[in-house]
Amino acid sequence: MGFSLLAGTRAPVRVWTDPYAIEPQAAKQLRNIGALPWVQGVAVMPDVHFGKGATVGSVIAMRQAVSPAAVGVDIGCGMSAVRTSLTAADLPDDLAGLRRAIEDAIPVGFAQRDEPVNPRRVRGLEQRGWDDFWRRFTDLDRRVAQLETRARRQLGTLGGGNHFIEVCLEQGGVDDGRVWLMLHSGSRNIGKELAERHIAVARRLPHNADLPDRDLAVFLAGTPEMDAYRRDLWWAQEYARRNRAVMLAVLMNLVRDRFPQVGYDEPISCHHNYVSEEHYEGVDVLVTRKGAIRAGRGDLGIIPGSMGTGSYIVRGTGHEWAYCSASHGAGRRMSRAQAKRTYSTEDLAAQTSGVQCRKDAGVVDEIPGAYKDINEVMAQQQDLVEVVAYLKQVVCVKG
């Protein structure tokens, strides 16, 4: 599928889905984004849906400006995955013990670690840069200074909502049945605190007074506010990357303890709520991806479905009109509140049949039926990515 243009915008808004199927609230957000004077263009991914501040599934290229709400509050949220040498035949028939071991090793939900992670004690974890990384905490917005202890203890923890850890099986091809480990998480509370503070600052700046939506307030290049945001943004994106790296190393070691024969390929990792400095159509731009991954030519990425449906490992095609991007997942088709009104725990159990996971009222809002069909989403972006592997989870850990 190619793209369509959303009508009634100043900058081009290219849509990789049926534009008439976009919910009205999201379409209004996209038109508001396309009207901003700093916007070079917008690419809308097939998992698009209404989001707080800015649309989820939007890729926004701006000249000399950036909107913190177009990144979102979970700065650096993203995915990591690694293929193992194990196959389905190596796994026990009852996976409840493996799920419990993961939940015991990695705090989920609001939980944090009793003591901060010592990188030197985690086998296989990248050792470089930790001291400098934490030293730079003191350079962040002074209003978060009291949160350092919490930030340290939340490093290597999953969080709640749509964050997850999965054990998956590759489906089809010569590696049918191969076991993968996958996880989805971000910058935890510290990213949220930094984002909310900067969004509030942007809303008060005079040049944002007449915007159609104050949630789309921007920082301008060369200003102290932009410099402060970029400093905190880069740090939070690194926190999210290191958070996933810690969890993946812990998960890999846990599996190695249970299956000493296991081997691992090189892990894949990608942000899907972040900012990047890029160059398109002869212009240097700041690209914000909120619910979208980079899909430059040859880039490996991860596009998950939901807790009962499959996920895809993909390779980008480098489509420049999409700003070298692709969707970050299936995308919600209904809000969490609507999902809770619509579905029961019985529905959840039926839709996650065959998956060792929570099936209680606390995760009904994450039921597969609340998400778009991942296979349809993939069909709409065949020009953006090519499929490397299709995975189906057998264990899913939720916060």
Within a domain: 350: no
Q: Which residues are CB-neighbours of 20 under 8 A, at least 6 positions away?
A: none
The pairing of strands 13-15 and 39-49 is parallel
Within a domain: 326: yes
Among 231, 150, 169, which residue's Cα sits nearest to residue 197? 231
- Taking the C-alpha atoms of residue 313 and residue 80, their distance in angstroms, rounded to an integer, is 10
Q: Is 304 annotated as a binding residue?
A: yes
Q: Is 331 annotated as a binding residue?
A: yes
Yes or no: say if 314 and 302 are a contact pair by the CB < 8 Å rule: yes
Q: Which two tokens stand for residue 41?
A: 């263009």
- Taking the C-alpha atoms of residue 300 and residue 39, their distance in angstroms, rounded to an integer, is 27
H-only helix segments in the chain: 24-35, 96-105, 130-135, 148-154, 188-203, 224-258, 336-342, 345-351, 374-379
- Taking the C-alpha atoms of residue 86 and residue 365, their distance in angstroms, rounded to an integer, is 32
Residue 4's alpha-carbon distances to 16, 19, 102, 208, in angstroms, are: 7, 7, 43, 29
Within a domain: 361: no
Domain housing 387: 4-333+371-398
Q: How many CA atoms lie within 13 A of 393 on its CB side?
A: 29
Q: Is 164 annotated as a binding residue?
A: yes
- Taking the C-alpha atoms of residue 50 and residue 387, their distance in angstroms, rounded to an integer, is 27
Q: Is 305 annotated as a binding residue?
A: yes
173 phi/psi in degrees, rounded to 5: 75, -175
CATH number at residue 203: 3.90.1860.10
Q: What share of the chain is helix, strand, coil (3-state, %, to 5)?
A: 35, 25, 35
What residues are paired with 285 via a beta bridge?
278
Q: Is 328 annotated as a binding residue?
A: yes
- Count of domains forming the chain: 1
Q: Which two tokens stand for residue 353?
A: 């049949």
The catalytically annotated residue of 49, 198, 271, 328 is 328
Q: Is 166 annotated as a binding residue?
A: yes
Q: Is 165 annotated as a binding residue?
A: yes
Among 221, 120, 213, 100, which residue's Cα sits nearest to residue 165? 100
pLDDT given for residue 309 in this prediction: 94
Which residues of the chain are modeled with pLDDT < 70? 1
Q: Is 330 annotated as a binding residue?
A: yes
Q: Is 189 annotated as a binding residue?
A: no
- In this structure, the number of other CB atoms found within 10 A of the CB of residue 92 comes to 9
- Taking the C-alpha atoms of residue 362 and residue 347, their distance in angstroms, rounded to an integer, is 13
Give the pLDDT confidence of 167-215 residue by residue, as tens digits. 999 999 999 999 999 999 999 999 999 999 999 999 999 999 999 888 8
Give the pLDDT confidence of 69-79 residue by residue, as tens digits. 999 999 999 99
Q: Is 329 annotated as a binding residue?
A: yes
pLDDT given for residue 250 in this prediction: 98
Within a domain: 351: no
Yes or no: say if 312 and 356 are a contact pair by the CB < 8 Å rule: no
Q: Which two tokens stand for residue 321?
A: 């009109």
pLDDT given for residue 53 in this prediction: 78
Within a domain: 198: yes
pLDDT given for residue 214 in this prediction: 87
Q: Is 219 annotated as a binding residue?
A: no
Specify whether 198 is catalytic.
no
Among 204, 292, 218, 285, which residue's Cα sits nearest to residue 67? 218
pLDDT given for residue 212 in this prediction: 87
Within a domain: 74: yes
pLDDT given for residue 78 in this prediction: 98
Within a domain: 363: no
Within a domain: 348: no
Q: Running DSSP on this structure, what letter comes out for residue 6?
A: P
